[in-house]
C-alpha cells in the first residue's frame, strides 16, 4: 500500500477522516504509524495529497487531510480481455488498475470455460476490492471502468466498432503477424485472448471491427504477463 485511499464515507469534515478497517490495521502493523506522522493519501475518484495522523488507538485513526495533487494520467486505452480463469482474473484487475488502464471490457471467447463466468470475483464488490489494491500499489485514485460482455458476437459486431473508432485497433495473437508497435502516443483499442488464444473465427470478427493482429514473439505468456508486456511495449 503506497497510497492510503479514502472513501467519501470516511470524511467527518472537509479535512478530517476516521479510519477503522484494514487501513487502520495496515497503518498499525505495516507502517507502524505514530501520531504526528505524515502519510500519502488520495480520495477515490479525486485528488491525492498527504495526511497527518492526529489520533490512533486500537479501534480507529483520525487524520487531517490535504488533497492538492492530481492523480497520474491514465493510458489512452480500452482493453478488451477474454475472461481469464478466476485466480488470474483477480491479479489482472490489480495489474490493470496499477498500470493505468481506464477501461476494460471482459468478453467471452470460445476458449473461456463457461464456469469462469460463475466466479464470485466478478461481483462488483470483489472487482472493486482488487482494483483498489492496484490503485494503492501504483498511487492512483481513479477506478477503471469494468464492462462485462458475456456474448462475444453481439459485442464485437454491434458495440466494438464505436469503441475502436478513432483509435489504433490491435489484437495480441501469436503467429505470422506484424510485431506489436512500440511507444505510441495515440489512443489504442487492444484485445487480449484467453489461455490457448482466440480461434480463427474470433480473429476474423475482431479484424472486421477494426482490430489488427500483432504478435509478441514465439513465447506463450500467461495472461497477466501478456497484459503487462503489451502495455509496457505500447506506451
Which residues contact a second copy by CB under 8 A? 2, 72, 94-95, 98-100, 137-140, 182-183, 216-222, 225, 228-233
Alpha helices in the chain (DSSP H): 22-29, 86-99, 124-138, 152-154, 160-164, 200-208, 223-234
Q: How far is the CB of 209 from a second copy (least distance, A)?
A: 26
Neighbours of 20 (CB within 10 A): 11
Q: How far is the CB of 43 from a second copy (least distance, A)?
A: 18
Contacts of 207 (CB under 8 A, 6+ apart): 171, 213
Neighbours of 209 (CB within 10 A): 22
Is the CB of 171 or the CB of 230 nearer to a second copy? 230
Is the CB of 48 or the CB of 61 nearer to a second copy? 48
Is the CB of 47 or the CB of 229 nearer to a second copy? 229
With contact defined as beta carbons under 8 Å apart, do 206 and 200 qualify?
Answer: no
CA distances from residue 70 to 59, 140, 217, 229, 232 in whole angstroms, order as listed: 31, 9, 37, 26, 23
CA distances from residue 15 to 49, 139, 189, 193 in whole angstroms, order as listed: 11, 20, 39, 45
Is the CB of 214 or the CB of 230 nearer to a second copy? 230
Q: How far is the CB of 219 from a second copy (least distance, A)?
A: 4
Q: How far is the CB of 113 from a second copy (least distance, A)?
A: 12
Is the CB of 45 or the CB of 196 nearer to a second copy? 196
Q: How far is the CB of 165 from a second copy (least distance, A)?
A: 27
Report how far residue 146's alpha carbon sits from residue 60's, in angstroms, rounded to the nearest whole number: 32
Is the CB of 54 or the CB of 221 nearer to a second copy? 221
Q: How far is the CB of 26 from a second copy (least distance, A)?
A: 14
- Which candidate, 110, 90, 106, 86, places its Cα nearest to that of 98? 90
Amino acid at each position: 500500500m503506497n497510497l492510503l485511499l479514502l472513501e467519501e464515507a470516511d470524511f467527518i469534515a472537509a479535512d478530517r477522516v476516521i479510519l477503522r478497517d484494514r487501513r487502520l490495521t495496515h497503518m498499525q502493523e505495516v507502517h507502524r504509524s505514530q501520531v504526528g506522522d505524515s502519510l500519502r493519501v488520495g480520495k477515490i475518484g479525486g485528488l491525492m495529497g498527504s495526511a497527518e495522523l492526529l489520533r490512533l488507538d486500537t479501534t480507529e485513526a483520525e487524520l487531517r487531510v490535504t488533497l492538492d495533487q492530481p492523480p497520474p494520467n491514465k493510458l489512452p486505452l480500452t482493453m478488451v480481455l477474454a475472461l481469464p480463469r478466476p485466480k488470474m482474473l483477480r491479479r489482472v484487475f490489480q495489474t490493470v488498475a496499477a498500470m493505468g488502464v481506464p477501461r476494460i471490457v471482459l468478453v467471452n471467447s470460445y476458449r473461456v470455460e463457461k464456469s469462469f463466468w460463475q466466479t464470485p470475483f466478478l461481483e462488483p464488490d470483489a472487482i472493486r476490492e482488487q482494483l483498489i489494491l492496484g490503485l494503492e500499489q501504483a498511487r492512483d485514485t481513479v477506478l477503471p471502468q469494468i464492462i462485462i460482455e458475456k456474448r462475444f458476437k453481439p459485442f464485437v459486431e454491434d458495440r466494438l466498432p464505436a469503441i475502436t473508432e478513432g483509435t489504433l485497433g490491435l489484437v495480441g495473437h501469436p503467429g505470422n503477424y506484424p510485431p506489436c508497435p512500440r511507444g505510441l502516443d495515440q489512443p489504442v483499442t487492444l484485445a487480449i485472448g484467453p489461455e490457448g488464444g482466440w480461434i480463427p473465427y474470433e480473429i476474423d470478427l475482431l479484424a472486421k471491427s477494426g482490430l489488427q493482429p500483432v504478435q509478441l514473439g514465439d513465447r506463450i505468456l500467461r495472461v497477466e504477463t501478456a497484459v503487462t508486456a503489451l502495455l509496457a511495449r505500447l506506451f
